A = this chain, B = another copy of it.
């Protein structure tokens, strides 16, 4: 057998398999409650409608739905999507480029490949979405991280940071601000309107792209008076990406990206070499789901499912957590962010929690530059109501024991 080590690229040598993921693989097999995942509740999938649509699009459009299609996407899908985006408040102009991707993860990867060189800086929230950190790291990106509060990115700190970067001559290496401004993963925060405007002003002043990752807007269960950055963008700086994973079904792996045509065309050049195009069939299914009103009519139900689950988790946190623990109150999305007391190391807490029969993701995983050792991400979308209550109870018990032994 060859010594395979000789064949590995520097790129793949640089990817570390997550130790957390390994731990979770093991424990998820047992009777352990997982607050660690990020899966939608399968009861939110409009299963019968998708079954029927799948059959019908193959019957009706089979010659095209089963055939190769353009890298940019199936035109029937792109036209349906452009209309749908407008209806849900995302201003995609006729002159904007629009592309179908294999989930929004691919859109993130394409952004990295098209716009980042090794050593370039990406500005992002701290904590930030792990999939984006990993995609951008594939291009050797570095991160400038902006702390959050209960309302998301502290744009006042962003402003200071950019001013300092300019005075240090770093600003040319800063390419973009990456953000999940609405119902953030992992933190569950939503950026208020004034911070959105501030962020866009800073992007303009420092000549940065803004990458807006927005999987959750359409299923926010409490409306906030906020518009997507894409809709507020007067300069053509925002690349907007979203997905059908949360409003239809993640198993389709269908995402999309919209923005200035020149930028999207560069991402298309990369995508051509990665996978030629996004599956035609899934694009036809989504187009039909849009055009038959399946998605629109289904959204209230999805919102209701997640609102109830969030309420259960928040109530359990209030009921069980000891003093000194804070958490976010998300208006949508799938996650609650928890700040434990400073002395708590959440990886150590995880070990104790496993013994109690519950797991979560330690928050430091979402800090690209380190930090966040006393934080955690809790998922409320997938567990059952009973698991949510019992999972939080077990976690609180582990925490109390840990605090007692460390304070004792």
Interface residues in chain A, defined as those with a beta carbon under 8 Å from any beta carbon in chain B:
1-2, 4, 6-12, 15, 17, 39-40, 42, 45, 47-48, 50-52, 54-56, 58-59, 62-69, 101-103, 105-106, 109, 113-117, 131, 134-135, 137-139, 175-176, 207, 209, 235-237, 245, 249-254, 260, 262-263, 266, 269-270, 272-282
Contacts and interface: CB of A to CB of B under 8 A. Distances in A.
Contacts of A9: 113-117, 139
Contacts of A65: 251
Across chains A and B, which 5 residue pairs bring their CB atoms closest together, nearest first? A251-B280, A66-B249, A54-B54, A55-B55, A51-B58
B252 A115 contact: no
Given A42-B62, A250-B280, A253-B280, 14 more contacts: A2-B237, A6-B207, A9-B115, A11-B270, A12-B266, A47-B58, A51-B58, A52-B55, A54-B281, A64-B251, A66-B251, A102-B279, A109-B274, A275-B275
B279 A251 contact: yes
Contacts of A249: 66-67, 281
A394 to B, nearest CB: 25
A292 to B, nearest CB: 15
- How many copies the complex holds: the figure is 2
A196 to B, nearest CB: 18
A50 B62 contact: yes
A104 B189 CA distance: 39
Contacts of A63: 42, 45, 47
A68 B5 CA distance: 31
B273 A113 contact: no
B8 A115 contact: yes
A11 B251 contact: no
A10 to B, nearest CB: 5
B102 A275 contact: yes
Nearest to A107: B275
A35 B9 CA distance: 38
18 contacts: A6-B207, A9-B139, A11-B117, A17-B269, A45-B67, A47-B62, A50-B62, A54-B281, A67-B249, A67-B250, A68-B251, A69-B251, A102-B274, A137-B273, A251-B280, A252-B281, A253-B278, A254-B279
